[in-house]
């Protein structure tokens, strides 16, 4: 699509570490990680930042949908009605609170 600067907001610190790492040959998804590294070596500027899932509805949408898809690259058009709703929530700053249970 011609974008040269991409900011990736990811809700998994582990995923960011894997993408920023070099040797993931022993990882169970090494082939996918290698393909992502190939994409990252292209002529563009990609930065990663961690964001909590509750504050990023579109990331949660992609993560949930990704679990229902086969392994591989999938393009979700920005006109997808479900994605549009989540992008609107992100734009308006609508988030959900996180419930954390602790033993005391």
Please report the pLDDT score of residue 13 as a whole number. 85
Are 46 and 61 within one domain? no
Please report the pLDDT score of residue 100 as a whole number. 64
Q: What Å distances lie between residue 33 and 49, 51, 87, 90, 98, CA to CA? A: 18, 21, 26, 27, 30
Are 59 and 30 within one domain? no
pTM to 2 decimals? 0.53
Q: Which domain holds residue 42?
A: 1-50
Are 33 and 62 within one domain? no
For the chain of 104 residues, list the mean pLDDT of each consecutive stretch of 10.
82 84 78 86 87 73 80 79 80 70 71
Are 57 and 102 within one domain? yes
Nearest-angstrom CA–CA distance, 27 and 73? 18
Are 7 and 23 within one domain? yes
Domain total of the chain: 2
Please report the pLDDT score of residue 55 as a whole number. 66
Nearest-angstrom CA–CA distance, 63 and 59? 6
């Amino acid at each position: 699509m011609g974008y040269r600067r991409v900011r990736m907001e990811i809700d998994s610190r582990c995923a960011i570490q894997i993408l920023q790492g070099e040797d993931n040959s022993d990882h169970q998804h090494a082939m996918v990680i290698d393909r992502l590294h190939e994409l990252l070596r292209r002529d563009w500027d990609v930065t990663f930042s961690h964001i909590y899932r509750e504050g990023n509805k579109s990331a949660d949408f992609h993560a949930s949908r990704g679990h229902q898809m086969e392994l591989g690259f999938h393009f979700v058009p920005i006109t997808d009605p479900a994605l549009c709703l989540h992008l609107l929530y992100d734009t308006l700053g609508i988030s959900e609170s996180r419930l954390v249970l602790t033993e005391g």
